Amino acid sequence: MFKLLTLSLSMLMVASTVCHAKVRVVFAYEDKAQVPYYLEDSTTVPEKPGAAVELVKSLETLLPELSIELRRYPWKRCLSLLQSGELDGIFNASFNHEREVFGVYPFKEGKPDAARRITSISYALYSRGGNPLDWNGQSFGQVEGVNVGAPLGFSIVKDLRKQGLHVQEFVSSELSLRMLTALRVDAVALQEVTGDYLIQSKPDEFSNIYKVAPLLSTKAYYLMLSKQFMAEHPELGEQIWDAIGTLRENTLPRLLESYM
């Protein structure tokens, strides 16, 4: 009788452990600052990491079965590690058909589901004054002999090249601005939140740089999941994206305010 009771208790404990087993996921984001979404140029996650990082980490509150580990890499490496399955997800990733080869976005009715994005971010053109590319909001009036800088691996690079522009890629937004001040390029295309922050935070270095109006584009940014993760956890993947949409509406405004 005692042995039977012991066996029964053991089986209950095992069943309980299985039911409450955590799903460990590894998410990564860029190792360069993108205030207010993520802070510090670093390979480590700081104590005050940024609004997007806090939002992703807070998935654990809505989906308690998740155990999230956060890492930071150069953006091109984030993409590479997602493709190999060494990462379960990356953020912030704008939609790009080429990236669908190795990762998955939230979709609805055959299109990326913007309702389940993390946020929207605009790209702007920066120059040393004036509008060297004659950008009118729809097209460029000047492309011949014009060099444009942009961060390595960012989606805006492909957009600009489609318009016939010569684009040089640099390892960071800050280096892109430095190449502009050094006359290595005629303009740079940066995410507006990052470009504005760098210019405002380093006025001595970038005081001669101006933002060109109108903006280049505005894009939705997502938590992109690996194909390997979605193959193993398809329902959980959809739940993660649903939770992202909820957190963006209910939590992100407060987080952004705390970092601005």
The helix/strand/coil state of 70 is strand
pLDDT of residue 5: 38
Which residues in the chain show pLDDT less than 70? 1-20
pLDDT of residue 130: 87
Burial class of residue 94, CB neighbours in 10 A (0-12, 13-18, 19+): buried
pLDDT of residue 191: 94
CA separation for the pair 245, 35 (Å, rounded) = 21
pLDDT of residue 25: 98
pLDDT of residue 11: 43
CA separation for the pair 224, 65 (Å, rounded) = 19
CA separation for the pair 102, 83 (Å, rounded) = 5
CA-to-CA dists, residue 218 to 137, 171, 175, 191, 192, angstroms: 12, 22, 22, 9, 10
Helix crossing, 173-181 with 192-201: angle to 10°?
60
Look at the alpha carbons of 14, 17, 19, 23 in this order and tell me if their dihedral is positive or negative.
Answer: negative
Going along the chain from its start, the domains and CATH numbers come out as 24-119+221-259 (3.40.190.10), 122-219 (3.40.190.10)
pLDDT of residue 20: 57
CA separation for the pair 233, 23 (Å, rounded) = 10
